Amino acid sequence: MNRLKSWERAQIVWALVEGNSIRSTVRITGFAKATVSKLLVDLGRVCAAYQNDALRNLSASRIECDEIWSFVGMKDKSIPEERRGEEGIGDAWTWTALDPDTKLMCTWLVADRSSDSCDAFIADLASRLAHRVQITTDGFPAYIEAIGDAFGRNVDYAMLIKDYGTDPSEDRRFSPPVVRSESVRVIEGDPDESKISTSYVERSNLTMRMGMRRFTRLTNGFSKKTENLAAAVALHFMYYNFARPHKTLGSKISPAMAAGLSDHLWTVEEICRLLESN
């Protein structure tokens, strides 16, 4: 790691955050696979620690939550019988909580899609917010108890339940599902009906799939280790929150700037320098 110059680290990180796999980053930059992987894991770890401290006392007035699927090593349905129950392989879910006003990704969790993971994710979200918020989630049942435990009655919470299906007029095999209907279920408080939405956090799923090769559908660039997946997610959100301008905010405004967490647009070199302070 110490052999890399600052501009060399930045070159690798630029390739990774723009959606390249480890192997394509190796081909683009000319560095060894082990060098690229080590930088990803080391930088991802410090990016996670930095954001864990920085994303606090957030003044968000509403939050949208979602879960996005990926896998490590192989999909659950492909795990041979003798490896069932083995840690570190199979389906993985990244839980995300987005502020739709500033576009800030307030917190996330790479885990399974269980009630325990939901509890941990929502408890962490609650610890980062400065005041009462309106929350919208999908219809995953575990959210109800998790939000009740973490927020009590100090929340305006609604579920937006969407019924997905296939378009009968669409012949393509890999066409995305379409929303056939949706319904709202108010769980707690008095949420503003005009702001009950999961559209922004669902749109962030596309940003994740475009920015991290391991999330791309039908890819061979999937994660081989859970720590690599977690590191890639932390690095992606560091770049997304602090260094990437968001078109709806302005040409030189990042979500962190809109949320009052930064006074400037970070550079990739600045993100890389987090390694030097750890």
Q: Which residue has the tokens 């998790």?
A: 146
Contact predicate 204/105, CB 8 Å: yes
Give the Cα separation of 257 and 253 in Å (integer): 6
Q: How confident is the model at residue 239 (pLDDT cuts 50, 70, 90)?
A: very high
Q: Give the whole-number percent of the chain exceeding pLDDT 70.
A: 94
Give the Cα separation of 198 and 93 in Å (integer): 17
Domain 6-277 adopts which CATH fold?
Nucleotidyltransferase; domain 5 (3.30.420)
For the chain, the average pLDDT equals 91
Q: Where are the domains of the chain?
A: 6-277
Q: How confident is the model at residue 84 (pLDDT cuts 50, 70, 90)?
A: confident
Better-scored residue on pLDDT, 222 or 140: 140
pTM over 0.75: yes
Cα–Cα distances (Å) from 227 to 44, 73, 108, 245, 276, in that order, read: 9, 12, 15, 27, 21
Residue 170: the pLDDT is: 58
Give the Cα separation of 103 and 246 in Å (integer): 8
> Longest C-alpha distance within the chain, in Å?
57
Interval 43-58: pLDDT, tens: 999 999 999 999 999 9
Q: How confident is the model at residue 175 (pLDDT cuts 50, 70, 90)?
A: low
Q: Which of 44-53, 118-127, 186-195, 206-215 has the lowest mean pLDDT?
A: 206-215
Average pLDDT of the residues in 267-271: 97
Residue 166: the pLDDT is: 67
Which two three-digit tokens encode residue 261?
Answer: 């967490």
Average pLDDT of the residues in 222-228: 87
Residue 1 pLDDT > 50, yes or no? no
